Chain A
Amino acid sequence: MAEREHSTSAAPDAVLRALADPHRRDILRLVQHDELPAGQIAARFHLTQQAVSQHIGVLKQAGLLTERREGTRRLYRLRHESLEPVRELLAEFWPDALGRLKQAVEAAHPRPSTRKP
């Protein structure tokens, strides 16, 4: 719900496509709490540095990663807010349904108001 300005905000489609690859999801998990340089990300996977660079490029373009320079290193971290549209979409479906379940059950089985625990 937060209203923020992001010059790198990408369409949900780009986010979904970026998330479609298991390696990219692994990379995101790795940098969701810690800011890491590309070399350290590559070291965690059986991937070449080049492959990791490509994945990072896709994630960056989708707005899923922030990049920060520190000397000659580039550090990456997940932009949590970029997952918000996907999160909201999925997170609404079942809660909405369970809310209706609650209404349906409680309407069909009203508790006597005099009942004490």
Chain B
Amino acid sequence: MTAEIRNDLVLATEHINAPPEVVFPYFTDPTLIVTWIGQRAELDPQPGGTFFLDMGEVAARGTYLTVEPPYRVVFTWGIPGNDELPPGGSTVEVTLTPDGDDTMVVLTHRGLPPTEIHSHRGGWEHQLAQLREHLRLAAD
């Protein structure tokens, strides 16, 4: 697992011991996505369709832009009520590349703060920290 941030983008990669056909639905099926992120999901995996993740006190909302099973999915991502990271304010692109019988997942999150950040004190930083905490709790 690796990660880096360049300017306003986060790049994360993960090697998974399963083929893309198995991994892909974990980004589009509400019952599968909540096994790794969020507690409840409303997903309509088609261009323009809803992407909604309830993570307790924090939610992420966006729309699917591209759905190309089993190799690529792109959706917007934001936090309702958060001016620095509004719904649709940033874009998450996931590509699943076959690696033998396995999958290399490359996730790029573009348009994140600090590009979008304006003047609020620590707003998105707090939200992200909270989000992370929730995810940790949800994972236990």
A interface residue numbers (CB < 8 A to B): 12-13, 16-17, 19-20, 22, 25, 29, 86-87, 89-106, 108-109, 111, 117
State how many angstroms separate the Cβ of B9 from the closest Cβ of chain A: 9
Q: Known A17-B119, A100-B36; judge A95-B16 contact (CB<8 A).
A: no
| Interface presence of B112 (CB below 8 A) | yes
Q: Once the chains are docked, how many angstroms separate the CA of A13 from the CA of B12?
A: 25
In this complex, what residue of A is CB-closest to B108?
A94
Main secondary structure, interface of A, reads: helix
Q: Given known contacts A12-B125, A94-B109, what 5 new A-B pairs fall within 8 Å (CB)?
A: A16-B125, A97-B135, A100-B139, A105-B23, A117-B101
State how many angstroms separate the Cβ of B100 from the closest Cβ of chain A: 7
- Give the residues in chain A near B132, CB-CB below 8 Å: 92-93, 96
- Give the residues in chain A near B125, CB-CB below 8 Å: 12, 16, 89
- Give the residues in chain A near B23, CB-CB below 8 Å: 101, 105
Q: B18, A13: Cβ atoms under 8 Å?
A: no
